[in-house]
Amino acid sequence: MAIATTNPVTGEVLREFDELSPEQLEDKLRRAADAARSYRLTSHEQRAQWLGRAADVLERDTGTVAELITTEIGKTLRAATEEVTKCVAGLRFYAKNGARFLERVQRDAAAVGATDTYVTYQPLGVVLAVMPWNFPLWQAMRFAAPALTAGNVGILKHASNVPQTALYMETLFREADFPADVFQTLLISSGRVADVLRDDRVAAATLTGSEPAGRSVAAVAGDQIKRVVLELGGSDPFIVMPSTNVDRAAEVAVRARTLNNGQSCVNAKRFFVHADVYDAFLAAFVAKMGALVVGDPMDASTDVGPLATESGRSDVEAYVDDAVSHGATVHVGGRRLDRPGWFYEPTVLTGVTSAAKMFAEEVFGPVAQVWPVQSLTEAIDLANAHPYGLGSNLWTEDASERETFIRDIQSGMAFVNGNTTSYPEIPFGGTKRSGYGREMADVGMREFMNAKTVWIGAPANG
């Protein structure tokens, strides 16, 4: 894929970028390694000041950056603005809490025959981030903010269709007065990632993306004995039980499925609804999905914009056509729009069988699958039968159902009476084929730190 900004509304290539030459890439890696040696020695207080400055700069640039995101991937301007605002909050969260997360943790010295013993957290060095396009600022920021807080240096290989957002990230941290080369963007193709990860100057990597991409990075990291965090997508279940407010659940279900034009790893994609409320939920869900306005993402009245790429829309079409060929029913949507750009109607399917590809794969677009179930146990069993395990959602007012769901659902995150999302304050990540490791909070920051045990004995002359 060319490194270029292509407007999903029109299909027009707006700007193209040259890939880094081998010499340019070598220079960036050298400078990152040099920066890591000195940046690790900066104080927690100084890093917090730089993070706060970055938040101020980004807040100032909110309108410009939101328009850039919308132009590159087609998400609504409202959603892009919310993404930028979330990044500002993430920076300020780490500016406020980073020093506390980095404090040494005391252990029982007497129990191990020491005068003092503790764990201190130290940065690993240069960390490679391989990021997707769907939340081009937030997903890069949820790596960058904790990494820089920890004293690591970041190098970003972003998706090839969001080069301007990627370059803005580098500019942001430079303008916030971080030391030179502490965060750099690498405009390179995916085929060169393995060589970067193999470089001895790169200590670790994090990847958010497809399962094949995750397998590739994990294989290289394993061969090189380097730490890696993987977030590889999901097909989150959304379970509705009779005790809940069905109309409210349907309202959130629409947002859960169409967030980011349906292109989010933590979009709810499979809806399991108790038979007692199935008809009412389906009617409300179909009506609300059908009422969404699909159009120009710059228009404030638009609910759903185009898919980010032409190939992405083709994939969604193929999934829906395949499901219908195997007996599924389309209740609303199911077609591309007859206009320029990569638009696809919000779609609700029932009767999706195990023969359909979407039954066990992730559909990255505004397409929902709905099934009736007879019990919570059946819903959980169906949800767990899927190879992914990122987020999950339950709607109930029954405390025992809530505890059963939390105990038995195979996912990295369990949300009750709300849609799965990410926050700086709590860890984010999955299990099974959704990957391993965590982002955000203190847990995510420590993924790329050495937890060093310190044991201090009595003075030799004591």
Residues catalogued as catalytic: 231, 265
Residue type for position 310: E
CA–CA distance, 36 with 39 (Å, rounded to integer): 5
What's the rounded Cα separation, in Å, for the pair 136 and 159? 8
Alpha-carbon torsion (160, 162, 168, 173), positive or negative: negative
- In the chain, the amino acid numbered 369 is Q
| Cα distance between residue 308 and residue 97, in whole Å | 35
Q: Which helix (H) or strand (E) holds 84?
A: helix 77-101
Angle between helix axes 77-101 and 62-73 (nearest 10 degrees) is 120
Interhelix angle 163-175/138-150, rounded to 10 degrees, is 30
3-state SS assignment for residue 269? strand
- What whole-number distance in Å separates Cα of residue 33 and Cα of residue 36? 5
Dist. CA 180–CA 197, nearest whole Å: 22
The total of other beta-carbon atoms located within 10 Å of residue 339's CB is 11
- State the DSSP H helix or E strand holding residue 211, giving kind and residue range, or none if neither: helix 211-224
